[in-house]
Structure 1
Amino acid sequence: MKVEIRPSVLRGSVAAPPSKSHVHRLLIAAALARGESRITGAAESEDILATVDCLGALGASVSVAGNAFSVHGCGGAPHAGGDILPCRESGSTLRFLIPVALAGGGGVFSGSERLIERGVGVYRDLLEPRGVSFAVGSGTVSAHGQLRAGDFEIPGGVSSQFISGMLFALPLVGGDSSITVIPPFESRAYVDMTVAALKCAGVTVERRGEREFFIPGGQEYRPISAEAEGDWSQAAFLYALGDGVNVTGLDSESLQGDRVCLSLLRRIANGYTEAELSDCPDLAPALFAAAAISGHGAHFCGTRRLAIKESRRADAMAEELAKFGARLTVGDDSVDVAPGDIRTPDSVLSSHGDHRIVMALAACAVRVGGVIDGAEAVRKSYPAFFSDMAALGADIRY
């Protein structure tokens, strides 16, 4: 789908979409409980529907009515049987649920080849020596064996989702376990979100120092009743649309690491030209766009993990922002945006199949115009993005 955005001045208030990170975690905790749970303030996106479908394959039942999810849990006994677990493009779904499936003997997951490629390496290294077998095919990965209690060392510089996946699963197995995070421990705020979701379901995880977790085994998840938070990572793209945009429904005390977005965007707009992104890599596209729009440029470090997102995000943003006249230099763990003004792009912009790149390019296009090809990628996380833009005054043509 191609979307043309003409120069517009946006003003008004818009409600932040529900936090995808929060809803994933609440759904999984509810699905592992015995009995009925209810999650309100949620919304359907492709990533959330992937988690819903996979939880159904593991024995839970999820129904949706408006903005509420009702979950009948599997009683702590996930079992895939012969069902495929369809992850679509959702890395969170795949990484969270591989250990959960292994608590019940394993399963076969499907998804895009890029998702499978970036989704399982840490688990193979961690669990194959413990008797779990992995087989990667074209768009599938099978993981079979029984997850057992033990002491686990997990690298903290690849994705915190591997840590979260083990935290969901280990309370279900017999025997106590520990997880030690090998430095650097990046995006730890999202591990804190997982621990909070577990606590909401009555599951205990003990923090022992900065990098160690103790997980008692044989625990029982309890049904939950919870409301989804607004999504700070998506709010970053709304704020990047212009100074006249106000985003409501956000919790300033949220555990979401991306809550730093507003302060970073303000600093970039005011000419502060350095930012560290290792704990908030999902903000990178919005911040790169903001640095180009500001004319000041900026230096970003901690960008190494952008290579394992839905696209090679730093390279993709460099390619697309160049069409606006911006110059980005991509290093192994840094990105530099050179000072200078943006202009109307000289060719059609590409989404690279990445929802966050679409939203970042939209922030530039609303200033100087542009056509984005593959704009349907926003359905992955924020299906209402363009309708929300239009409600704020954007001139959008489909």
Structure 2
Amino acid sequence: MKLKLSAPSKTLLKSNIQITGSKSETNRSLLLQALFPSIGIENLSNSDDAQVMQKGLKIDKGVVDIHHAGTAMRFLTSFFACQEGKEITLTGSQRMTERPVKVLVEALRSLGADIEYGQNEGYPPLHIKGKKITKNKVSLPANISSQYISSLLLTAPSLENGLELDLVGKITSVPYIKMTLALLSQIGIQNEFEGNTIKVWPKTDVANISLVVESDWSSASYFYSIVALSDVGSSITLSAYKEDSLQGDSVLATIYRQLGVETTFSNNSIEIKKTGESKTDNLMVDLADAPDIAQTISVTCFGLGIGCHLTGLHTLKIKETDRLEALNTELSKLGAPISVTDKDLTLKTSESIKSDVAIDTYNDHRMAMAFAPLALKTDLVVNDAGVVSKSYPDFWNDLRQLQFEVSQVD
């Protein structure tokens, strides 16, 4: 599906939008529910990733195809490895077979797991025979994707002796690790995070409890961008959000204040409002704890005509696409003076934006949604726009609710 995007006729925006549950929280909660069926879940994400996670958890034998869902690949690897009697082949899209999983597989093997590679060493597909795991100490590099770490931590309470995880080096994406541990605490699982060591105690059952999934902050980022690029006075109210969020991407509220956008929390909602012009002409942010909002922020800065220097982006190389190179290519098409390395992005100040550019999305939902707000500045075409279903199936309809012109083209 190819879509053409144009700005609303009135760029003073006012709207209320409901966003479904966080993909990150949903998939963590689903895995815990599979281990402890007494858990209920409210406000589940309606994303593709959550749906393949739900389906995968119900399979005991055969092939589990998680398509593009990297979170599901990492989480299900540990889950199936520790489920005695289950025997599956865990696979996904062509891009998924190019995304490394060796660090997690080797950690699980050191605990006694039975996992073999189906094609290339270090990459999916994986042949997994579930076993009873009794060893309880393992180490991982601290600068890897937090999903590897969370994968082990989520499965840990089901292990006979729990788990002691030693992280070697400087830890990346701490908020996502804390999200996992907070969910464990909510269901009564004892855990401890001191220095670079995390301990999770074993538990055979938990009391009846309902987990309420907060709406997705990554999805909120696109509306922060829209408000930043719109007229002063524009506001969008999003629900349902918590001021004490578990999600690392909630740092958006602080970052976008520098771009003239204020956030007000009220009744499990946030109002994001354009209150003035950007307070900087060169935004400097370390996104090591929230790399998923790098695409949104860099596009916002380009639309505002300001520069930015974003660091801590080393995990973007192994996402749905190489997001740094994808940003370099697509922003360059629009005339942006941009440069990237394997871990950061630099955008120089520029006041001109090329029009009628077609944005390629590289099977990456965030590429489609991050660039969409630029329709406030120039007409755009978004190729393979249906890719948004991975995390936010309602995105294009919600843009129409804001009076954007969104039309399908041949």
> Do they fold alike, i.e. is TM over 0.5?
yes
Partner residue, 1:140: 125
- Alpha-carbon deviations, 1:178-204, whole Å to 9, x = none? 001122211111111111222233322
User: Which range is displaced more, 182-191 or 336-345?
Assistant: 336-345
Whether contact under 8 Å (2:110, 2:138) holds in the other structure is no
SS at the partner of 1:84?
strand
- Name the aligned partner's letter for residue 166 of structure 2: T
- Name the aligned partner's letter for residue 50 of structure 1: V
Partner residue, 2:237: 247
Cα distance change on mapping 1:342 and 1:381 into 2, 3 Å: farther
Shift of residue 280, structure 1, vs aligned partner? 0.5
CA distance in 2, matches of 1:342, 1:200: 50
SS at the partner of 2:285?
strand
- Alpha-carbon deviations, 1:311-361, whole Å to 9, x = none? 111110111112221121001221101110242435421111111110111
Partner residue, 2:189: 203
- Name the aligned partner's letter for residue 158 of structure 1: I
Is the counterpart of residue 180 in structure 1 residue 170 in structure 2? no
CA distance in 1, matches of 2:345, 2:370: 16
In the alignment, which of 14, 17, 22 is matched to residue 19 of structure 1?
22
Partner residue, 1:117: 98
- Alpha-carbon deviations, 1:360-388, whole Å to 9, x = none? 11011232111000111100000011111
SS at the partner of 1:113?
coil
Shift of residue 171, structure 1, vs aligned partner? 1.6
Shift of residue 13, structure 1, vs aligned partner? 2.5
CA distance in 2, matches of 1:42, 1:153: 32
Partner residue, 1:335: 345
Q: How does 1:96-245 map to 2 (within 5 A)?
A: 96-105=75-84, 107-131=88-112, 132-137=114-119, 140-144=125-129, 146=131, 147-207=133-193, 209-243=194-228, 244-245=234-235
Cα distance change on mapping 1:342 and 1:354 into 2, 3 Å: farther
CA distance in 1, matches of 2:98, 2:299: 28
SS at the partner of 1:351?
coil
Report percent identity of matched pairs: 27
- Alpha-carbon deviations, 1:80-126, whole Å to 9, x = none? 2x232221211111111211111114531121132233251212332
User: Which range is displaced more, 285-294 or 189-198?
Assistant: 189-198
Shift of residue 29, structure 1, vs aligned partner? 1.1
CA distance in 2, matches of 1:231, 1:247: 14
Whether contact under 8 Å (1:154, 1:181) holds in the other structure is yes
User: Which range is displaced more, 343-352 or 44-53?
Assistant: 343-352
Whether contact under 8 Å (1:29, 1:221) holds in the other structure is no
Cα distance change on mapping 1:218 and 1:266 into 2, 3 Å: closer
CA distance in 1, matches of 2:118, 2:191: 32
Whether contact under 8 Å (1:40, 1:226) holds in the other structure is yes
CA distance in 1, matches of 2:363, 2:198: 36
CA distance in 1, matches of 2:322, 2:222: 19
Structure 1 runs not aligned, ≥5 long? 58-79
Shift of residue 223, structure 1, vs aligned partner? 4.0
The Cα RMSD (Å) is 1.9
Is the counterpart of residue 6 in structure 1 residue 15 in structure 2? no
Cα distance change on mapping 1:278 and 1:178 into 2, 3 Å: same
Partner residue, 2:62: 83
Shift of residue 130, structure 1, vs aligned partner? 4.6
Cα distance change on mapping 1:27 and 1:133 into 2, 3 Å: closer
In the alignment, which of 38, 41, 51 is matched to residue 40 of structure 2?
38
Whether contact under 8 Å (2:78, 2:108) holds in the other structure is no
In the alignment, which of 36, 52, 56 is matched to residue 50 of structure 1?
52
Whether contact under 8 Å (1:203, 1:219) holds in the other structure is no
SS at the partner of 1:382?
coil
CA distance in 2, matches of 1:23, 1:365: 31
Cα distance change on mapping 1:212 and 1:219 into 2, 3 Å: farther
Partner residue, 2:279: 270
Shift of residue 50, structure 1, vs aligned partner? 0.9
Query: How many pairs were matched up?
Result: 373
Partner residue, 2:329: 319
Cα distance change on mapping 1:101 and 1:354 into 2, 3 Å: same
Partner residue, 1:259: 250
User: Which range is displaced more, 248-257 or 340-349?
Assistant: 340-349
Shift of residue 252, structure 1, vs aligned partner? 1.8
CA distance in 2, matches of 1:84, 1:22: 25
Shift of residue 38, structure 1, vs aligned partner? 2.6
Structure 2 runs not aligned, ≥5 long? 229-233, 260-277
User: Which range is displaced more, 42-51 or 215-224?
Assistant: 215-224
Shift of residue 55, structure 1, vs aligned partner? 1.2
Shift of residue 133, structure 1, vs aligned partner? 2.9
CA distance in 1, matches of 2:2, 2:110: 47
Shift of residue 47, structure 1, vs aligned partner? 0.4
- Name the aligned partner's letter for residue 287 of structure 2: L
Whether contact under 8 Å (1:172, 1:220) holds in the other structure is no
- Name the aligned partner's letter for residue 246 of structure 1: I
